[in-house]
Amino acid sequence: MSFKLTILGTSSALPTSDRYPSAHVLNVHERLFLIDCGEGTQMQMRRFRLRFAKINHIFISHLHGDHIFGLYPLLSSLNLMGRREKLNIYAPEPFEELITRHLADFDINLGYELLIHPLKGSTPRLILSDRRVEVTSFPLRHRVTAYGFIFREKPGENKIKKDKISEFHFTVAEMVKLKKGEDIVRDDGSVISVEAVTVPPPSPRSYAYCSDTGYFKKLSTYVGGVDLLYHEATFGSEHAALALQTGHSTASQAAKVARDANVRKLIIGHFSARYRSPDQLEEEARVIFPATEAAREGQCYEILPGGGFKE
């Protein structure tokens, strides 16, 4: 089952001729989760053949234009396409007030229901849980209220070895228990251990998204141990003072978070338009955390079951 990230935008507030503002799409078991929605997001989705109808959850890190200006036309397009399914949006307050006013100002009557989930709090908080995935928000440090997100795949079921089914003649009820990781105790007192007759599922996969944020040490505890970390790297170290002033991070600071969090792979993005190429920022980050890549539009990162990446 898929656990794949597609990068739609890598620029900071000022887009360039080949870099769009922030937007990512995460495919978890063929369900798409949109994370931030900068200008041009729906154009990028069409370009990279991502199906609009598969998006039922949108996560907005904060209410700056380069992370939200693509949302308004996307909602309108979904309406024109005849959407009827409910759409969940997770965003800091006062997003609900903003979207309500926008729909009224432009006389847009949606044929589907918007469910707005306000992001709040100063500690990590579970905001979505279903049978496939859990999503947790956590506070960032920016000029306005901002949140990051962690997507964690829920553990799968144990797989019963085929030869053991015929050997032990398991009932349906027993197989259900084994798949859940429970031992079987039969009427005669014999015990069939789950380890002896099943194969454990692959380790759950995880992805963390840290959009606009200044560096702070506690951030690494929020994203500790994830497989794939996206962290903004707006500037190089030569502009560390500007990063501090504007509530952003340098490439080396992003790498420190990845190193201290013991993540498996780091993707940096949200590049200032002053950098024609992100190569300089990638090289800076790799000095501290070698498993770093600069995000590029259309790049996909698939976390494979049991570990490993496919790009």
Q: Is 212 a catalytic residue?
A: no
- Residue 200's pLDDT is what? 86
Domain ranges of the chain: 3-156+201-310, 159-198
Residue type, 64: H
Write down the H helix ranges in 81-117.
Answer: 95-105
Q: Quick one: tokens of 281?
A: 């920022």
End-to-end CA gap in the chain? 16
Q: Is 277 helix (H, G, I), strand (E, B) or coil?
A: coil
Around Cβ 67, how many Cβ atoms within 10 Å? Answer: 26
Smallest CA-to-CA distance from 216 within 242, 241, 244, 251 is with 244
| Global pTM exceeds 0.85 | yes
Specify the CATH number of the domain 3-156+201-310: 3.60.15.10
The model's pLDDT over 22-49, given as tens digits with 9 standing for 90+, comes to 999 999 999 999 999 999 999 999 999 9
CA distances from 3 to 46, 226, 308, 309 (A): 20, 13, 12, 10
pLDDT in tens, 107-142: 999 999 999 999 999 999 999 999 899 999 999 999
Instruction: Give the model confidence (pLDDT) of 233-265 as tens digits.
Output: 999 999 999 999 999 999 999 999 999 999 999
pLDDT > 70 fraction of the chain, expressed in percent and rounded:
100
Choice among 18, 36, 66, 163 that is catalytic: 66
Task: Supply 309's token pair.
Answer: 């990446």
